[in-house]
Amino acid sequence: MKPVVATNGENVARQSVIAFGHSTIVVENMMGMECNGGANRDLREEIKVAIREEKVTPKLPEYSFICHLMKTAFPRNEQFPLWVLRLLALRERVNFRAFYDGEQFCGILYTAENDKYIFVLYLAVNDKIRSKGYGSLILQWLKGITSKIIVLNVEATNLSAVNSLQREKRIAFYQKNGITDTGYTFVDAEEKYSVLSSDSERFDMQEYGALLKWFSLGVYKKNISQR
């Protein structure tokens, strides 16, 4: 990626163009202030990032790394066997995607959807390139390809939990990306999860529960309550 920098003090737009399959999203970001010849100037750079998506299958060169990522990025009680996830993803409205920036593997996204909601079961970024904005870009891509309401579960804040700081950071990450607390709690195996959504005001517990039941082939039993 080659930056384009203004040389005469003019502003140059910086755009991250994220191409996921047939979808393209443009994101503008401001650069910091830079001193040049004794004068401060607002610099921007133009960056074009072509990110592609691939369906996760054992044929992917990164498949073993994806397996490792799934085991290290999520608590053990939240992990499904990869063969189960691939089997569930054979259905039309379930997708297991890997994302790449050029040849660099960026992360994974696993979703299931109905007519109203798109449920994010897993979102994980390659731990070798974290804190570079790829998680946010993947969420922006998701918002760009659908008008449906994004909904997901995250471990509820708990100061006594060994990963309390990680929980807070995860919730802050989603809030930064416009996915906020609905005021509902999902309980699974005695662990409490906060239900987050891109449109918390229109969250419908019944419809969300129906989506989870469909996705789990009827195994899921309603356990969502309002706080």
Q: Which residue in the block uniquely carries the two structure tokens 């807070």?
A: 168
Looking at the predicted structure, is the pLDDT value of residue 29 above 80? no
In this prediction, residue 15 carries a pLDDT of 33
Q: What is the pTM of this model?
A: 0.78
Q: Cα(173)–Cα(220) distance, rounded to whole angstroms?
A: 27
Three-state SS string across the chain, please? Answer: CCCCCCCCCCCCCCEEEEEECCEEEEEECCCCEEEECCEEEECCCCEEECEEEEECCCCCCCHHHHHHHHHHHCCHHHCCCHHHHHHHCCCCCEEEEEEEECCEEEEEEEEEECCCEEEEEEEEECCCCCCCCHHHHHHHHHHHHCCCEEEEEEECCCCCCCCHHHHHHHHHHHHHCCCEEEEEEEEECCEEEEEEECCHHHCCHHHHHHHHHHHCCCCCCCCEEEC
In this prediction, residue 90 carries a pLDDT of 95
Between these two residues, 88 and 227, which has the higher pLDDT value?
A: 88
CATH code linked to domain 51-226:
3.40.630.30
- In the chain, where the domains are located: 15-49, 51-226
pLDDT digits (tens, 9 = 90+) for 66-118: 999 999 998 888 888 989 999 999 999 999 999 999 899 999 999 999 999 99
Mean of all residue pLDDT scores within the chain: 80
Average pLDDT over residues 138-166: 93
Q: Cα(121)–Cα(214) distance, rounded to whole angstroms?
A: 14
In this prediction, residue 131 carries a pLDDT of 87
